[in-house]
Structure 1
Amino acid sequence: MPFAITNSCCTDAACVRVCPVGCIHPAPGEPGFGTSEILHIDPASCIDCGACADACPVGAIFPVDRLGAHDAIYADINAGYYSGPSGSSGSDEARPDPSGAAAPQRRHIADDLDVAVVGTGPAGMYTVNELLARTEARITLIDEHLTPGGLVRSGVAPDHPHTKQIERAFALALRHPRVEFVGGVRLGRDVTLAELGEQFAAVFLATGAGAARRLGIDGEDAPRVTSALDVVRWSGGVPGFDASPLAEANLGRAVVVGTGNVGLDLARLLTLSPDELGRTDVADRTLDWLRVHRLDDVVLLGRGDAAHAAYTEAEFRALDRIPGLTVRLVDADEPTPSFEPHAGARITVVFGSRIEQFVDHGGHVGVRVERVDGPAQLDADVVITSLGYDVDAVGATTLGLPHDPATGAYRHEGGRVVTTGAVRDGAGIYVTGWAKRGARGGIGANRLCAAATVQTFVDDVAGGVIVSPKRTRDTLRDALRLKGISTTDARGARAIDRAERSRGEAADRPRVKFVTTDELARTAARGRRLSVRGRSARG
Structure 2
Amino acid sequence: MGPGGACWRGGGAGARRWLSSRAPAPRVCVVGSGPAGFYTAQHLLKHHDLVQVDIYEKLPVPFGLVRFGVAPDHPEVKNVTKTFGQTARSERCKYYGNVTVGRDVTVAELQQAYHAVVLSYGAEDNRTLGIPGENLPGVYSARAFVGWYNGLPENQDLKPDLSCETALILGHGNVALDIARILLSPLDLLRKTDITECSLAALACSKVKRVWLAGRRGPLQVAFTIKELREMINLPGTQPVLNPADFTGLENAVKDIPRPRKRLTELMIKTALQKPGEMAAQAAAPRQWGLKFQRSPQEVLPTADGTRARGVRMALTRLEGWGESAKAVPTGDVEELECGLVLSSIGYRSLPLDPAVPFDSQRGIIPNSMGRVEGAPGLYCSGWVKRGPTGVIITTMNDSFDTAQSVLEDLRGGVLDVSVSREGFGAVGSILSSRGVRPVSFSDWEKIDAAEVARGKAAGKPREKIVDPQEMLQLIGH
- Tell me the residue number matched to 1:389: 348
Distance 2:375 2:200 in 1: 43
The 5-angstrom pairing of residues 275-424 of structure 1 reads: 275-330=188-243, 333=246, 344-361=286-303, 362-371=307-316, 374-392=333-351, 395-396=352-353, 398-403=355-360, 405-406=362-363, 408-419=364-375
Cα pair 1:491 1:524 within 8 Å, conserved:
no
Distance 1:130 1:264 in 2: 32
Distance 1:328 1:238 in 2: 32
Distance 1:461 1:397 in 2: 25
Distance 2:378 2:288 in 1: 51
How far 1:445 moved relative to its partner?
Answer: 1.4
AA matched with 2:115: A
Shift in alpha-carbon separation, 1:419–1:514, aligned structure 2, 3 A = farther
Moved more, 451-460 or 217-226: 217-226
Shift in alpha-carbon separation, 1:370–1:129, aligned structure 2, 3 A = same
C-alpha offsets along residues 32-87 of structure 1, whole Å, 9 cap, x if unaligned? xxxxxxxxxxxxxxxxxxxxxxxxxxxxxxxxxxxxxxxxxxxxxxxxxxxxxxxx
Distance 2:353 2:52 in 1: 27
AA matched with 1:106: A
Shift in alpha-carbon separation, 1:343–1:441, aligned structure 2, 3 A = closer
SS in 1 for 2:16: coil
SS in 2 for 1:409: coil
Moved more, 287-296 or 484-493: 287-296
Cα pair 1:332 1:371 within 8 Å, conserved:
no
Cα pair 2:41 2:404 within 8 Å, conserved:
no
SS in 1 for 2:426: coil
How far 1:483 moved relative to its partner?
Answer: 0.7
The 5-angstrom pairing of residues 431-510 of structure 1 reads: 431-468=381-418, 471-472=422-423, 474-510=426-462
Distance 1:334 1:370 in 2: 20
How far 1:405 moved relative to its partner?
Answer: 2.6
| Residue 109 (structure 1) aligned with residue 18 (structure 2) | yes
Cα pair 1:109 1:458 within 8 Å, conserved:
no
Structure with larger RCO (C-alpha < 8 A, sep 6+): 2
Given the alignment, which residue of 422, 426, 430 partners 2:380? 430
How far 1:343 moved relative to its partner?
Answer: 6.5
SS in 2 for 1:398: coil
Cα pair 2:139 2:309 within 8 Å, conserved:
no
SS in 1 for 2:242: strand
Cα pair 2:166 2:341 within 8 Å, conserved:
yes
Given the alignment, which residue of 233, 248, 258 partners 2:147? 233
AA matched with 1:398: P
C-alpha offsets along residues 250-280 of structure 1, whole Å, 9 cap, x if unaligned? x322110001000000001111122321111
SS in 2 for 1:108: strand
Aligned residues: 408
How far 1:402 moved relative to its partner?
Answer: 2.6
TM-score (norm 2): 0.80
Shift in alpha-carbon separation, 1:171–1:331, aligned structure 2, 3 A = farther
Distance 1:410 1:278 in 2: 40
Distance 1:190 1:419 in 2: 24
Percent identity (aligned) = 32
- Tell me the residue number matched to 1:171: 85
SS in 2 for 1:410: coil
TM-score (norm 1): 0.71
Distance 1:415 1:296 in 2: 45
Two-structure CA RMSD over aligned residues (Å): 2.3
Moved more, 461-470 or 261-270: 461-470
- Tell me the residue number matched to 1:253: 166
SS in 2 for 1:348: strand
